[in-house]
Amino acid sequence: MTVSTADTGLAPAPVSSGGRTIRSRRSQFLQLLLKAFYYIVLIGASVLYAIPFLWMIRASLMSLDMFYVVPQPLVPNPPAWNNYTDVWQVGPVLWWITNSTIVSFVGVTVGTFVSALVAFGFARLKFPGNRIFFLIVISTMMLPQHVTIIPQVILFRELNWLDTLLPLIIPLLGGAPFYIFLLRQFFLTLPLELDEAAAIDGASRMRVFWTVIIPLSKPAIATVAVFSFISHWKCVV
């Protein structure tokens, strides 16, 4: 018994493109709906985050009498534009801004650099007690600020640092525990082979830190710099 493989002369049935077109249009429509949903969520979240700032601007344009009106107007009418000029007569606002600028600048530059340097030592240098010292540094975050504020005031008084910016600047020279922890964890994600390759080329530890680790850690350093600026600016102002 044999099976004939002769050509029957029948052409293959054409593949209909109608089904593919419908599926393609349906997929594009679903992607469009999904993108529209994302935009709606982002716009809604942006509006929610903008409400406190809009409310702050509204309050800055209200006169003192408007605060006692119930219900308060949504838009101050008339707006008290003179509030922005009167605030300069309440106190030495320019001096306050100058102090905030100085402390914030030192905090962002010196504080971030020192924190990165300490974090590099904990992440890359192997020495006895590395983990113990790191845990001691991190444990200082658990100390409430109210516990240390009185001893700090006594210390600053003995050093004649009261009514100066030194109590706000000098502690920055030791870095911040949270920033050290954040940068150390990021440095641990960088391959050690980069340090070894730089060491083979004759680079010192400090050169490895400055030319290898720092350029690769710009996102983490930028995050620490933003946190540092916000914390120091709002504390002084």
Q: According to the 3-state scheme, what is the secondary structure of 164-201?
A: CCHHHHHHHHHCCHHHHHHHHHHHCCCCHHHHHHHHHC
* Confidence at residue 132, expressed as pLDDT on a 0 to 100 scale: 92
> pLDDT tens digit string along 71-127?
877 888 888 888 888 888 887 888 888 889 999 999 899 999 999 999 999 999 888
Region of poorest pLDDT, from 12-16, 108-112, 141-145, 190-194: 12-16
Full DSSP string of 54-98: HHHHHHHT--TGGGG-SSPPSS-SS--TTHHHHHHHHS-HHHHHH
Whether residue 58 contacts residue 75, with contact meaning beta carbons closer than 8 Å, is answered with: yes
Place of tokens 């009514």: 163
- What's the whole-number mean pLDDT along residues 170-184? 88
Tokens of 3: 């099976």
Whether residue 224 contacts residue 112, with contact meaning beta carbons closer than 8 Å, is answered with: yes
- Phi/psi at 15 (5° precision): -85, 125
Q: What is the rounded distance in angstroms from the CA atom of residue 10 to the CA atom of residue 139?
A: 83
Tokens of 80: 């008290």
Percentage of residues in the chain having pLDDT higher than 70:
91
Q: Give me the helix-helix angle, 112-124 and 130-139, nearest 10°.
A: 140
Domain 91-236 has CATH 1.25.40.20: no
Decide if pLDDT at 12 tops 80. no
Task: Look at residue 10 and give its three-state secondary structure.
Answer: coil
Any idea where the domains of the chain sit in the sequence? Answer: 19-85, 91-236
Q: What is the rounded distance in angstroms from the CA atom of residue 183 to the CA atom of residue 118?
A: 9
Tokens of 143: 């100390």
- Supply the DSSP symbol for 129: T
For the entire predicted model, the pTM comes to 0.71
* Confidence at residue 190, expressed as pLDDT on a 0 to 100 scale: 93
Q: Is the N-terminal amide bond of 171 cis, ω within 30° of 0?
A: no
> pLDDT tens digit string along 126-168?
888 889 999 999 898 888 878 888 998 999 999 999 888 888 8
Decide if pLDDT at 234 tops 90. no
- What's the whole-number mean pLDDT along residues 20-48? 87
Place of tokens 């910016």: 165
